[in-house]
């Protein structure tokens, strides 16, 4: 099996609490992998550690064959690792369209000199805004394009997070932290169908943290389940869901 991401024995402590207690997760390339587990089991901490927002206390993160454990978030992004946030971290002063457009990296106009030379960036920027418009049309935010995040509902903020994470060019791995929480079911299905299509047509890889298992399980190829900072099961999504340890962790948690 070819893995795009291999996290080995990750440990992350918050004081006495071991939020990650020796977590090993491998994400197969070109597939949609689910990461499930009850509240507080360490899923978000895992995403934060893999994306460089947190430094692990122990363990390594291998991405596309390269050890990225010590790289800052922006360098991980540039290697093709993209993530979204469970609690939206939107740019509060930027509009819906700007939030989405910003998520595409590589704009030649992001300099204090090149910025004022419109010729240099007009082409790239036009493409960027077009793509952003298409994405916010898909996530049903088009009519809110010039609104700021403060004017959106909770569900719309999540949809903006989803639009943002879909924006970067050809990511190798997209990590999504509960993309559909607070989103109405029909749109949640659409988002998962879209993810599925990106996987099928472009071979993109996803690792998705999701609580809405009824929806997510239809679209995933593989699943990991965590409890108390440890991986308790992995395998085919339905099998993982029926695993007694997983069921017990949900009941106990």
Partner 1 sequence: MSVWIFSDAFLITLFSFITVAISLNLEAGFTGIPNFGKHVFVFVGAFAAQGIGVRIAAWIYEKVEPQAAQQALEHLRSMVPGATWKSLVGAAADVDANRIVVNNYLRPFFVSHVGLEALLVVLLLVVTVALALFFGLIASYAALRLKEDYLAILLLSFAELMVMVLFYQSQSLNGGNQGLWAITFTSDPVKFALIGSGALAFISYLYAERLANSPMGRAMRAVRDDDVAASVFGRDIAVIRLKVILVSSVLAGLAGFFFIQNAALSTSMTFNRVIWTFLPWAMIILGGMANNLGAVVGAIVFLIGKRLFEYYQIPISNALHLGSSIVSALLPNIFIGIFIIVILYALPQGILPEKPSKTVKFEEILESEQGEEA
Binding site for partner 1 (CB under 8 A): 51-53, 72-74, 77-78, 82-83, 85, 89-95, 97-98, 101-103, 105-107, 109-112, 114-116, 118, 121-122, 125-126, 129-130, 133-134, 136-138, 142, 145-146, 164, 168, 190, 193-194
Q: Which one, 44 or 69, has the nearer CB to ligand ATP?
A: 44
Q: Which one, 89 or 236, has the nearer CB to partner 1?
A: 89
Q: What is the Rg, in whole angstroms, of the alpha carbon atoms belonging to the chain?
A: 18
The percent helix, strand, coil of the chain (3-state, each to 5) is: 40, 25, 35
- Judged by CB under 5 A, the stretch of 85-93, 151-159, 181-189, 197-205 that binds Mg ion is 85-93
Q: Which of 101, 77, 83 is nearest to 91 (CA)?
A: 101
Report d(CA 72, CA 21) in Å as an integer. Answer: 22
If one counts every other C-beta atom within 10 angstroms of the C-beta of residue 52, the result is: 20
Q: Which one, 44 or 69, has the nearer CB to Mg ion?
A: 44
* Contacts of 97 by beta carbon, 8 Å cutoff, 6+ apart: 129, 132, 133, 136, 145, 146
Considering the complex, what minimum distance in angstroms separates the CB of residue 175 from ligand ATP? 12
Q: Which one, 82 or 208, has the nearer CB to partner 1?
A: 82
Cα 17 versus chain centre, distance: 24
The dihedrals phi and psi of 105, each to the nearest 5 degrees, come to -95, 155
By CB under 6 A, the residues from 34 to 73 that bind ligand ATP are 37, 39-45
- Judged by CB under 6 A, the stretch of 12-20, 104-112, 150-158, 185-193 that binds ligand ATP is 12-20
Q: Give the one entry of ligand ATP, Mg ion, partner 1, none that residue 41 binds, where binding means its C-beta sits below a cut-off of 5 to 8 angstroms depending on kind.
A: ligand ATP
If one counts every other C-beta atom within 10 angstroms of the C-beta of residue 207, the result is: 26
Q: Give the one entry of partner 1, ligand ATP, Mg ion, none that residue 237 binds, where binding means its C-beta sits below a cut-off of 5 to 8 angstroms depending on kind.
A: none
Count of residues engaged in binding ligand ATP, rule: CB under 6 A: 12
User: Considering only residues 33, 41, 44, 69, which one is a binding residue for Mg ion as defined by CB under 5 A?
Assistant: 44
Q: Establish if 86 lies at the interface with Mg ion (CB under 5 A).
A: yes
The dihedrals phi and psi of 133, each to the nearest 5 degrees, come to -65, -40
**For residue 144, with 0-12 CB atoms within 10 Å meaning exposed, 13-18 middle and 19 or more buried, which class applies?**
buried
Q: Give the one entry of partner 1, Mg ion, ligand ATP, none that residue 40 binds, where binding means its C-beta sits below a cut-off of 5 to 8 angstroms depending on kind.
A: ligand ATP
Strand partners, 25: 7
Q: Give the one entry of Mg ion, partner 1, ligand ATP, none that residue 156 binds, where binding means its C-beta sits below a cut-off of 5 to 8 angstroms depending on kind.
A: none
Q: Which one, 197 or 238, has the nearer CB to partner 1?
A: 197
If one counts every other C-beta atom within 10 angstroms of the C-beta of residue 182, the result is: 14
The overall longest dimension of the chain from CA atoms, in Å, is 61
Contacting residues toward ligand ATP, per CB under 6 A: 14, 17, 19, 37, 39-45, 86
């Amino acid at each position: 099996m070819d893995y795009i991401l291999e996290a080995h024995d990750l440990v992350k402590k918050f004081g006495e609490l071991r939020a990650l207690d020796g977590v090993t997760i491998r994400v197969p390339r070109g597939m949609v992998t689910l990461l499930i587990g009850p509240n507080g089991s360490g899923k978000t901490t895992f995403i934060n550690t893999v994306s460089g927002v947190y430094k692990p206390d122990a363990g390594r993160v291998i991405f596309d064959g390269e050890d990225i454990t010590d790289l800052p978030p922006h360098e991980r992004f540039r290697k093709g690792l993209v993530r979204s946030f469970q609690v939206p971290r939107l740019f509060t002063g930027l509009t819906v369209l700007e939030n989405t457009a910003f998520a595409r990296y590589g704009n030649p106009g992001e300099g204090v000199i090149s910025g004022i030379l419109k010729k240099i960036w007009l082409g790239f920027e036009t493409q960027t805004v077009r793509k952003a418009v298409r994405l916010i049309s898909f996530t049903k935010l088009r009519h809110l394009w010039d609104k700021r995040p403060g004017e959106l509902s909770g569900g719309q903020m999540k949809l903006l997070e989803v639009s943002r994470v879909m924006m970067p060019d050809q990511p190798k791995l997209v990590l999504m932290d509960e993309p559909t929480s607070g989103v109405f079911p029909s749109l949640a299905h659409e988002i998962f169908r879209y993810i599925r299509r990106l996987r099928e047509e472009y071979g993109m890889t996803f690792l998705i943290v999701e609580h809405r298992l009824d929806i997510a399980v239809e679209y995933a190829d593989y699943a990991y389940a965590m409890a108390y900072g440890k991986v308790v099961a992995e395998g085919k999504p339905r099998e993982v869901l029926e695993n007694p340890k997983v069921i017990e962790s949900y009941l106990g948690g």
